[in-house]
Structure 1
Amino acid sequence: MFTDRRDAGRQLAERLAGPWRDPLVLGLARGGVPVAAEVAAGLGAPLDVAVARKIGAPGQPEWGIGAVTADGPPVFDAAASRLGLSSRQLTELCEEERAEAARRVELYEDGRAPAPREGRDVIMVDDGLATGVTAIAALRAARAESPRSLTFAAPVAAPDAVERVRREADDVVCVDTPAGFTAVGRWYRDFGQTSDTEVVRLLRDTS
């Protein structure tokens, strides 16, 4: 059980102790950014943001059937094929979330140029890993920018999701992968929502 995202980030930073070559820590917005800020501080590395948006099922937006970044290809899980959605429906769902991802990238960058990923050891951090589909979309977008290595890190993760994400990242680092995972928030005493304002502040304060 973690006290909050900051506590989780500090514990995760201990697991991520180097050596790293020109490391860059990416917080997966929004909840991953406070965790990533602590990791970046612990590693003495710069912090930047990664944005991926869950694609919800029609009429059931909380049921994630995929994910997409602002400019990368969408990732769909097996549930999407079972819904019998047409390619047009999938495209519409994807483009709506892609537009929101682009809006958030612009907001979070706040006029800053994104930190370069090429040739660096990139560590992508989230506050937890449930299904892995959002992480996979973000990892594929980061991989396209030619990092030297790409690591995914989270304080807590579902074991099956770790195996899925491991196919996309060079390494996956977690503090705990409990068999009775159920949900990320279960493993935090304080799991309040992270606001856009907090994300912008953390990125500004560590730039």
Structure 2
Amino acid sequence: MFLAIDTSAGTSVAVVEGELVLSERSTEDTMRHAEVIGDMISGALDDAGVPASGIDAVVAGMGPGPFTGLRVGIAAARAFAWGIGVPVIPVVSHDAVALEEWAAGTRGDLLVVTDARRREVYWSSYGLDDRMPARTDGPGLCKPDELPYPEFLRVDATQVSAGDLGRAARMHLDLGIPEEFTEALYLRSPDVTMPGARKRVSQ
């Protein structure tokens, strides 16, 4: 049984058992991750009728995503996992979007795109065959008019489903696919930086 958390685009929390999503709570609000994440975790567990002790692992969406929002979800996933003594499974957030398309019957080459703000977008490319969706390039960051693979089917996602994130984690484990990205995928410097040393004032 997995608890899955993603804050790369809005906030989504789900309880997943195998291929079955037992509960999911989501919002597309990209400004209140920290305010809603605790209640959404509690609510998703209550909706599924699953106690914290019933969770075997916590799936964390690693992005790509904006710095502030993304780190809230990853921190929440790590704190919850530490609290109940279970591992964290990192998954690229775009993998959830690709899995949703694959499960709906889409096949061929796919480009997943999400908003990166600052007039930029995040992207990942996938090959969707009958076996599974496989990431072939990315994640990357660019201007909208610089997106690669213009011939691919493009999906612009405004929300990443934690339910699909948990299902992607289960598929990766079942197929023995290691997750190469174990740290947050900000893909650029944070919006807020530490100030440098104060300049000496000349007398």
TM range, normalised to the smaller chain? Answer: 0.3 to 0.5
Q: Which has the larger radius of gyration?
A: 2
TM-score, normalising length: structure 1: 0.33
Q: Which has the higher helix share?
A: 1
Q: Which has the higher strand share?
A: 2
